[in-house]
């Protein structure tokens, strides 16, 4: 039972670069950063980046990883997101220590850099409309052409930029652009916008600024200001690297962080787009960012995934520049693996079928010992009440069972886990022919689930004593989408949503040890899966999420018929 799985010496390309930089003496300390924009909740894709950046800061020494909010767009960013992001990173098991930063903390310095660029003739104020700028930029196959304002004097640029900052102009009237190369094959080098006018209140700087820096200008310089050595980002920023380096070069900055790109996480049956997730939340298709169906860190956590499982997953997916699609079964394996190690076992019946043990004393009851964890004797045992009336799972009984069905059927004997051998004597149905109750007998000699005469029973099923049972609502969570790659499917993403991604069972019956357990408590319901107590739980009733089902080779075999 390993904590954090074995770490082989296999190094990914980024760690190789870092090793080389250390070996060559280029760096003696490793500094990374995780730079989210606070415009939404973090998702499993971010976990990859978090595990990478913060993981590096744990593996190397000296090293540190900064948490820096990339908050340069006041119209999309909110404090709620800043808080949720911090909570999620901490929950994943990482700590930024004192290194909590905001790009907005650098607005003054950034503004100074912009002025420097103007003074050195590397930036100018453009007064074209957004539409015109787009036209002038050219296309992927044709070069752009210079704006008529490209050659304004330094003095005029300085004056205009100062007045932009003071709020003398309306949004869109002017922008500050870098003066690079309108014919570059790299669109990012065709005089990218550095500053735009936004007369909006910023979540941290309030109304201090009327101009806000763009990502490209902000990011690399923020890295530089913080002494970041390796700035790790996803593949779509590859074309931005020349620009990232251009700023550092032109401004002759004392330190030169290196941007390295890796492939973002692609996961089957999942969509990572924050924009789309926000839409799900706002349209009410899910109940908030932490809905257990969501691929957000908070949703996954609420569903019962463990941070350890996510870390193991992030370790297993590797790190390359190949933009692949990871099978979600690898994530599911990682949770099962971890929960199998740590989750105590209990019994709970999701879809109850009443069983009466006719040869058991009317008011009799007794306690049987149940093992808390079969793989861990240290976990001990607990007493579970057994009595004349019990519940079993509806699908553990078949009136006309197929050959390989090991469970209960008319005249069949099975083991009630940790209790007795039980034989079905009579099937009671209602007017519609639905089975409503089973009348059974038990073998008093088989207490504990062992027969005195050594006869074998193939099936073992779980059960709960009716009068001791704790009622609960259980939510079965399934994949959010019906197709492997929702982006590749025809139609809107919404059309690919799995309508059965959540199924609520209102009549579940659990063994009494569940009574009084706290929100967040995780356990395995034997034979069913791993479960977690949901925050919707009240004094009146438990609400429980199924994190993930157990592997089920019977269901698989039955499904093939």
Partner RNA sequence: UACCCCGUAGUGUAAUGGUAACACUACUGAUUUUGAUUCAGUCAUUCAAGGUUCGAGUCCUUGCGGGGUAGCCA
Please give the structure tokens belonging to residue 359: 């040869």
Task: Let me know if 374 is exposed, middle or buried by CB neighbors in 10 A (0-12, 13-18, 19+).
Answer: exposed
Q: What is the DSSP string of 9-42?
A: S---HHHHHHHHHHHTTS-SSEEEEE---SSS--
CB of 27 to RNA, least distance (A): 19
Nearer to RNA, 293 or 417 (CB): 417
Q: What is the DSSP string of 238-298?
A: GGGHHHHHHHHHHTT-S---EEEEEPPP-BTT----HHHHHHHHHHTSSSSTT-TTS-BHH
Write down the catalytic residue from 264, 285, 351, 447. Answer: 264
Question: Do 319 and 14 touch, CB atoms closer than 8 A?
Answer: yes
Q: Which residue has the tokens 């014919």?
A: 183
Nearer to RNA, 404 or 432 (CB): 404
Write down the catalytic residue from 37, 200, 341, 389. Answer: 37
Question: For this structure, is 37 an active site residue?
Answer: yes
Write down the catalytic residue from 274, 301, 312, 479. Answer: 274
CB of 405 to RNA, least distance (A): 4
Cα–Cα distance measured from residue 100 to residue 262, given in angstroms and rounded to the nearest whole number: 24
Q: Which residue has the tokens 């290194």?
A: 99
CB of 544 to RNA, least distance (A): 16
Neighbours of 421 (CB within 10 A): 22
Question: Do 90 and 123 touch, CB atoms closer than 8 A?
Answer: no
Nearer to RNA, 58 or 76 (CB): 76
CB of 560 to RNA, least distance (A): 7
Cα–Cα distance measured from residue 555 to residue 393, given in angstroms and rounded to the nearest whole number: 14
Please give the structure tokens belonging to residue 62: 């000296």
Closest listed residue to residue 303, CA positions, set 535, 139, 462: 535
Please give the structure tokens belonging to residue 501: 């991604």
Question: Do 379 and 344 touch, CB atoms closer than 8 A?
Answer: yes
CB of 23 to RNA, least distance (A): 13
Containing 166, the helix (H) or strand (E) segment is: helix 154-166
Max Cα distance, the chain (Å) = 102
Nearer to RNA, 326 or 465 (CB): 326
3-state helix, strand, coil in the chain (%, to 5): 30, 25, 40
Nearer to RNA, 95 or 369 (CB): 369
Measure Cα distances from 429 to 54, 296, 396, 433 in Å.
60, 45, 16, 5
Nearer to RNA, 291 or 332 (CB): 332
CB of 134 to RNA, least distance (A): 4
Measure Cα distances from 378 to 46, 342, 375 in Å.
37, 12, 9
CB of 538 to RNA, least distance (A): 28
Question: For this structure, is 362 an active site residue?
Answer: no
CB of 196 to RNA, least distance (A): 4
Measure Cα distances from 373 to 417, 437, 521, 526 in Å.
14, 31, 16, 10
CB of 54 to RNA, least distance (A): 18
Nearer to RNA, 458 or 515 (CB): 458
Q: What is the DSSP string of 307-320?
A: HHHHHHHHHHT---
Nearer to RNA, 187 or 519 (CB): 187
Question: For this structure, is 264 an active site residue?
Answer: yes
Nearer to RNA, 196 or 311 (CB): 196
Residues with catalytic annotation? 37, 264, 274
């Amino acid at each position: 039972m390993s904590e954090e799985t074995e770490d082989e010496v296999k190094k990914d390309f980024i760690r190789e670069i870092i090793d080389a930089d250390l070996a060559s003496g280029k760096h003696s300390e490793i500094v990374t950063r995780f730079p989210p924009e606070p415009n939404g909740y973090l998702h499993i894709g971010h976990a990859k980046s978090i595990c990478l950046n913060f993981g590096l800061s744990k593996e190397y020494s000296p090293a540190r990883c900064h948490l820096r909010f990339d908050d340069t767009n006041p119209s999309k960013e909110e404090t709620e997101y800043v808080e949720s992001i911090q909570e999620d990173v901490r929950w994943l098991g990482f700590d930024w220590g004192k290194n909590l930063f905001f790009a907005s903390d650098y607005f003054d310095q950034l503004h100074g850099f912009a002025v420097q660029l103007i003074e050195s003739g590397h930036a100018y104020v453009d007064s074209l409309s957004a539409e015109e700028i787009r036209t002038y930029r050219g296309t992927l196959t044709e070069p752009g052409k210079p704006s008529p304002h490209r050659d304004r004097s330094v003095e005029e640029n300085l004056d205009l930029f100062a007045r932009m900052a003071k709020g003398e102009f309306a949004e869109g009237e002017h922008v500050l652009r870098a003066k690079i190369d309108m014919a570059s094959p790299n669109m990012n080098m065709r005089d990218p916008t550095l500053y735009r006018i936004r007369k909006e209140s910023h979540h941290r700087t309030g109304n201090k600024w009327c101009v806000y820096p763009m990502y490209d200008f902000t990011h690399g310089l923020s890295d530089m200001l913080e002494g970041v050595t390796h700035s790790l980002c996803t593949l779509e920023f590859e074309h931005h690297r020349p620009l990232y380096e251009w700023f550092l070069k032109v401004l002759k900055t004392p330190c030169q962080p290196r941007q390295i790109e890796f492939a973002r996480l692609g996961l089957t049956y999942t969509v990572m787009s924050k924009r789309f997730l926000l839409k799900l939340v706002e349209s009410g298709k899910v109940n908030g960012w932490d809905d257990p169906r969501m691929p957000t860190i908070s949703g996954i956590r609420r569903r019962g995934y463990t941070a350890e499982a996510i870390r193991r997953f992030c370790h297993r997916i590797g790190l390359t520049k190949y933009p692949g699609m990871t099978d979600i079964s690898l994530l599911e394996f990682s949770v099962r693996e971890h929960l199998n190690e740590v989750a105590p076992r209990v019994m709970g019946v999701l879809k109850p079928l009443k069983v009466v043990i006719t040869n058991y004393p009317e008011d009799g009851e007794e306690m049987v010992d149940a093992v808390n964890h079969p793989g861990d004797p240290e976990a001990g045992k607990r007493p579970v009440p057994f009595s004349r009336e019990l519940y079993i799972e509806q699908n553990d009984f078949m009136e006309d069972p197929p050959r390989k069905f090991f469970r209960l059927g008319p005249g069949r004997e099975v083991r009630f886990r940790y209790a007795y051998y039980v034989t079905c004597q009579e099937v009671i149905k209602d007017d519609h022919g639905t089975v409503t109750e089973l009348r059974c007998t038990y073998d008093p000699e088989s207490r504990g689930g062992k027969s005195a005469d050594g006869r074998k029973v193939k099936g073992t099923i779980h059960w709960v004593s009716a009068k001791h049972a704790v009622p609960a609502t259980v939510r079965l969570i399934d994949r959010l989408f019906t197709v492997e790659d929702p982006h590749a499917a025809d139609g809107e993403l919404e059309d690919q949503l799995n309508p059965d991604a959540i199924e609520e069972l209102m009549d579940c019956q659990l063994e009494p040890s569940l009574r009084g357990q706290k929100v967040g408590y995780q356990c395995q319901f034997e034979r069913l899966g791993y479960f977690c107590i949901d925050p919707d739980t009240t004094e009146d009733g438990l609400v429980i999420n199924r994190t993930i089902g157990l592997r089920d080779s019977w269901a698989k075999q039955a499904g093939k018929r």
